[in-house]
Amino acid sequence: MKPVRTHRAVSAVALALATSLALAACGGGSGFDDTDEPAADEGGGALKVLIGSSGEAETKAVEEAVAAWSEESGTEASVQAATDLPQELSQGFTANNPPDVFYVSTDTLAGFAANGSLMAYGDQLSNADDFYPTLVDAFTVDDQFYCAPKDFSTLGLVINTRLWKAAGLTDDDVPTTWDELANVAKTLTKGDVVGLTFGPEYQRVGSFFPQAGGSMVSEDGSEATVDSPENLEALEFVQGMMEDGVASYSSTLGAGWGGEAFGKELAAMAIEGNWIAGAMENDFPDVDYTVAELPEGPAGPGTLAFTNCWGIAEQSGNQDDAVALVEHLTSADQQLAFADAFGVIPSVQSAAEAYVEDRPEFQPFVNGAEYAQNPPAQEGAADVIGDFNAQLEGLPDGDPKAILESVQQSMQAVVGQ
């Protein structure tokens, strides 16, 4: 097993973006002068771009990319990093002066689409067929591909190579099934070190659902499927590992998230996304690790995908320029530049080979895009997931069936709106 020591930096704040796909509320204002631009029906003028940045590296990278496009196209454009993206977007739409281009999370897409705020431009892009189908599905509402996925993350199995070797394990022991995962976790559980850790939330535990053949909603989004035999089998498997003492929530270990528990070597393996690379490089540079795809369950491989898209305002008077800008920002070369700058995985398949060639340790995350499941994106689903997370905290000693039944009712109410 080849250890991984050096990675390109990924802001630790990216964890919050990958799990909630929205920034914490802490400010206001649209970030733009209302008098700078013409009204939406006047056309022309400079493009306004509003982003929810994970940090200085992301902000700088987007500013440079937009500036390069602006110089080449001759169209003026400015970038603003929001302090509270959802709030600032809402204020912009209410004032009939939204940014032309902006980040949209999966859990806000349905609401913006329903109230007519978003332009459905996805099919207009020359690279529309290059995006991973899973990501296209995440931003499709009523068969309309609304917006271009800007990048993505998936979950993988992160393994501490020192603890792995100390336990007498080899490359041949990397788990590929649930049984193998439980057995390896047992082998790695020694003293104060637990075999496997993950956060007490659907965004981690939920990765077992598709492995069992389950989901939160039906494929067409018409009904909730939370309370299913498949999801029950998944939760019971997770609970069983906890009861056996070979798996533990990161919070139980006294860590804020799985990456911290893993970095402090409180756990030998963790279920986390590619954003863990930045935390390991910045906070735990002496911990060697490698990454594998998540083991297959009874139904096969499964993981979760986390993504945002480039939204374009229906009110924008610069839609043609906005679409051209998004094409530039989602080109393979530009996405690879973003990957270098702040660690994301390109959303276009044509960039995969070059991305992995430079980052072979990230191959498992990229592979996951082929079979990843998107979290539910119906309007109101985010609140349901929040309640689900609160109930999952009690899973170690709780009733998996009762948890699923409770969340089923809430999710069905959202789906049935």
pLDDT tens digit sequence for 392-412: 999 999 999 999 999 999 999
User: Do residues 205 and 235 touch, judged by C-beta distance below 8 A?
Assistant: yes
Q: What is the pLDDT of residue 173?
A: 98
Residue 43, pLDDT above cutoff 70: no
Q: Are strands 77-81 and 267-273 parallel, antiparallel or unpaired?
A: unpaired
Residue 315, pLDDT above cutoff 90: yes
User: Do residues 109 and 26 touch, judged by C-beta distance below 8 A?
Assistant: no
Residue 15, pLDDT above cutoff 80: no
Average pLDDT, integer, range 321-325: 97
- Length of the chain, please? 417
**Among residues of the chain, what percentage have pLDDT more than 70?**
89
pLDDT in tens, 220-249: 888 999 999 999 999 999 999 999 999 999
pTM over cut 0.85: no
Average pLDDT, integer, range 264-274: 96
Q: For residue 282, what are the contacts with CB-CB under 8 A and spacing of at least 6?
A: 9, 12
Judged by average pLDDT, the poorest of 47-56, 235-244, 287-296 is 47-56
Residue 30, pLDDT above cutoff 80: no
Q: What is the pLDDT of residue 4?
A: 46
Judged by average pLDDT, the poorest of 50-59, 158-167, 186-195, 299-308 is 50-59
Residue 31, pLDDT above cutoff 70: no
Q: What is the pLDDT of residue 157?
A: 98
In the chain, where the domains are located: 23-153+306-362, 154-304+376-415
Residue 378, pLDDT above cutoff 90: no
Q: What is the pLDDT of residue 44?
A: 57
User: Do residues 217 and 378 touch, judged by C-beta distance below 8 A?
Assistant: yes
Q: What is the pLDDT of residue 80?
A: 96
Residue 35, pLDDT above cutoff 50: no
**Is residue 220 packed enough to be buried (19+ CB in 10 Å), middle (13-18) or exposed (0-12)?**
exposed
Residue 38, pLDDT above cutoff 50: no
Q: What is the pLDDT of residue 411?
A: 97
Distances (CA, A) of 393 to 157, 248, 258, 356, 406: 21, 11, 14, 35, 14
**Among residues of the chain, what percentage have pLDDT more than 90?**
76
pLDDT in tens, 155-175: 999 999 999 999 999 999 999
Q: What is the pLDDT of residue 7?
A: 36
Specify the residue for token string 């056996």. Answer: 244
- CB hemisphere CA count around 151 (13 angstroms): 27
Q: What is the pLDDT of the chain when averaged over all its residues?
A: 89
Residue 28, pLDDT above cutoff 50: no
Average pLDDT, integer, range 101-124: 92
Average pLDDT, integer, range 291-311: 97
- The highest-confidence range among 101-110, 133-142, 287-296, by mean pLDDT, is 287-296
Residue 262, pLDDT above cutoff 60: yes
User: Cα 210 vs. chain centroid, distance in angstroms?
Assistant: 16
Considering the four listed CATH numbers 3.40.190.10, 1.20.1440.230, 1.20.210.10, 3.40.50.300, the one that applies to the domain covering 23-153+306-362 is 3.40.190.10
Q: Can you give the chain as a three-state secondary structure string?
A: CCCECCCCCCCCCHHHHHHHCCCCCCCCCCCCCCCCCCCCCCCCCCEEEEECCCCHHHHHHHHHHHHHHHHHHCCCEEEEECCCHHHHHHHHHHCCCCCCEEEEEHHHHHHHHHCCCECCCHHHCCCHHHECHHHHHHCEECCEECCEEEEEEEEEEEEEHHHHHHCCCCHHHCCCEHHHHHHHHHHHCECCEEEEEECCCHHHHCCHHHHHCCCCECCCCCCECCCCHHHHHHHHHHHHHHHCCCEEECCCCCCCCHHHHHHCCCEEEEEEECCHHHHHHHHCCCCCEEEECCCEECCECCCEEEEEEEEEECCCCCHHHHHHHHHHHCCHHHHHHHHHHHCCECCEHHHHHHHHHHCHHHHHHHHHHHCCECCCCCCCHHHHHHHHHHHHCCHHHCCHHHHHHHHHHHHHHHHCC
Could you check whether 23-153+306-362 and 154-304+376-415 share the same CATH topology?
A: yes
**Residue 399 and residue 396: Cα distance in Å, rounded?**
9
Distances (CA, A) of 416 to 48, 113, 221, 378, 409: 36, 17, 10, 10, 10
Fold exhibited by the domain 154-304+376-415: D-Maltodextrin-Binding Protein; domain 2 (3.40.190)
